[in-house]
Amino acid sequence: MLQQTTVPHATAYFLKFLERWPTVGALAAAPDDAVMAAWAGLGYYARARNLHRAARVIAARKEFPNTLEGLRELPGIGPYTAAAVASIAFGIPEAAVDGNVVRVLCRLRGFKLDPKAPRTLARLRNEAQALVPARGAGDHNQAVMELGALVCTPRAPRCGACPLRKLCKAAASGKPEAFPRAPQRVKPRSIHLVAGVVERRKKVLLVEDEYMVKGHLSVPMFPVRDGERPANVLRKGWERIARRAVTALRPVATLRHSVLDRRYVVSLFTFKEKTPSPPRSCQPEADERSSPIPFPPSKIRLLSPSQIARHPHGGLLLKVLAAWREHGR
């Protein structure tokens, strides 16, 4: 959970996970949907899938790996996580190098390097490894990470409180924030989607997410290209995949949502459906045979808002439901 997530944000999820699945075996036996639903809101959902897969590997082997090599064999375990677990749980003298450690070392040594570059990371792992004591490696790794998180922060570092100040080349320069060099930012991509909330039998119709996190539930969404009207895209898209005409289309809100380098603008509508007429023949028309149907009936879920929390979903769905409750019902 602490991969790419701060301790304060992850703590509540960690405690709930332990309460619900107190052992590796319990997590291994859990249904996929239950694990993904419990992870909803933490982001980076590949971590949840890898955690679940790793639990199943460990349960099948009936032992937890206690070597660096054994840890690296588990799904989702890279050099940092393997080193952190190995040093903290088993005392193995291996340096755990996360973003905080990279910043501390770059400032300590006066390196104006790109902290994301592979060559930089390789150099800093060597620097960090040389500092790891034979005993107490876990305490050492946690101390350096905490130093970066609480004292040697990206902005306004508390150099006066730092135990390494007299050795720090960045502090001596008078401009510690200039170390390391700011990585080149990836230009964000703007993506326009249209989304619709429709109810059947007083329940919200949800489908499998096709645009953000596969396996999550979402309201129906469709991409909007330049020059297209969102309402027309929603109407045509829903008629194509659900074989039901859209009526009473009404705008609710324009939502914004970010995932990594993607910036989503979502035009949200509510709509109603016309009940489809019985087919005049058992043979589909030519255009129907060629039209893709990404959401077959088996993929459609009808859930009340209170039921949604028990199913995998992301932050955008929560924003959609909040806007719908406030402006759309």
Say what the pLDDT of residue 47 is. Answer: 93
User: Which of 150, 178, 206 marks a domain boundary?
Assistant: 178
Pair (57, 163) in one structural domain: yes
**How many degrees, rounded to 5, is the angle at CA 186 between CA 77 and CA 312?**
50
Structural domain harbouring 313? 189-328
Pair (108, 74) in one structural domain: yes
In a domain, 184, yes or no: no
174-219, pLDDT tens digit by residue?
999 999 998 877 889 999 999 999 999 889 999 988 888 888 899 9
What count of other Cβ atoms lies within 10 Å of the Cβ of residue 196? Answer: 25
Average pLDDT, whole number, for the chain?
A: 90
292-301, pLDDT tens digit by residue?
444 556 578 8
What's the number of domains the chain is made of? Answer: 2
Q: Tell whether the model's pLDDT for residue 6 goes beyond 90.
A: no
CATH assignment of the domain containing 160: 1.10.340.30
Pair (61, 172) in one structural domain: yes
Mean pLDDT, residues 103-114: 96
In a domain, 279, yes or no: yes
Say what the pLDDT of residue 273 is. Answer: 92
Say what the pLDDT of residue 282 is. Answer: 47
Q: Tell whether the model's pLDDT for residue 75 goes beyond 70.
A: yes
Pair (118, 211) in one structural domain: no
Pair (253, 215) in one structural domain: yes
Pair (150, 45) in one structural domain: yes
User: Which of 178, 206, 233 marks a domain boundary?
Assistant: 178
Say what the pLDDT of residue 290 is. Answer: 36
221-259, pLDDT tens digit by residue?
999 999 999 999 999 999 988 888 999 999 999 999 998
User: Which of 178, 209, 243 marks a domain boundary?
Assistant: 178
pLDDT tier for residue 5 given thresholds of 50, 70 and 90: confident
Say what the pLDDT of residue 298 is. Answer: 59
Q: Tell whether the model's pLDDT for residue 2 goes beyond 80.
A: yes
Say what the pLDDT of residue 243 is. Answer: 86
Pair (137, 270) in one structural domain: no
Pair (164, 18) in one structural domain: yes
Pair (159, 200) in one structural domain: no
Pair (253, 166) in one structural domain: no
Distance of CA 47 to the CA centre of its chain: 8
Tell me the residue type at 87: S
